[in-house]
Structure 1
Amino acid sequence: MSAAATPQWLDDDEMRFWRSFILTATLLESRLNRELVEGHGISHSDYSILVVLSEAPDHQMRMSALADFIASSKSRLSHQVARMEKAGLVERQECDSDGRGVLAVMLPKGRELLERAAPTHVAGVRDHVISRLSADEQRSFADALERVLQGLSGSDEVAEAS
């Protein structure tokens, strides 16, 4: 949209949706973070990194791919992983196949913490979200969010170019 264009203001229903979405996302992130910090001394963002690494082959992933996967800047991820290294949860290693690449590798202490924290996280997700929506609502909401995610990640442009 150019600076001279007249904005297409949100109508009442669109504004209700938008504000509910933003406030819900913010409060949910805060609540899940608080539950993990209080219960296990780990932030939700650190927990998310451990989850991704736990699902990766050999519990490791290139730092650049990890940053993309969790929607973080490389700089922010580097600081976060440095803190997690000090806690003994992960370590950085040079990539054997590429001298320039750096891997984030989950350590046994990170795996143990993830296993202890996962039930707390799943209970929070279930209590705060899943239990409040029917299966049909969950599918519809997932479909809608996936369309938004495709647009934000540039997947729409790839599909349109095909």
Structure 2
Amino acid sequence: MNDFSDVYNEYAVPVRRFLLSLTQNEEIAEELTQETLYRAFLHIDSFREESSLYSWLCQIAKNLYLNERKKLAKRQASAATHLLEGVNGEEWTQTLLLREQAMLVHQVLHSLPEPYKEVFTLKVFGELKFKDIANLFGKTESWAKMTFYRAKERIVKGMEEKA
């Protein structure tokens, strides 16, 4: 091939089809195709011809796709953490209901062991103070705060795992 435009002309469509099979999304596949070919252009001198050029391009594409998935999972977990930081009953519930992740949060919450599930539910949905939660369990206020904090951590971790 005389220059990289030949590579682009020959492999853009096959690489895009490969990415479409991974992403199931036209726009993302197109974006990743452009990024794949750009990276290949930058690093064409590192192509060792141990495999076909198409295989090399697909490997670049797959790595970009996996990196995007990781970034998306982190963004979703970050959004969940942000939601959980300003927890205050009704406002928090309304915010969650407006988000796609509401069901996921409830699934993770449902799977929490006791006392995390109950403490979290009492604080967020029951709008109880930590002092009142502590009295219900016959524990200290510090215990209630720590249990609530750990429940939030478990919810975020569970959402990261499901993403």
Return the structure number with greater helix share.
Answer: 2
Rg (Cα) greater in structure: 2
Q: TM-score, normalised by structure 1?
A: 0.30
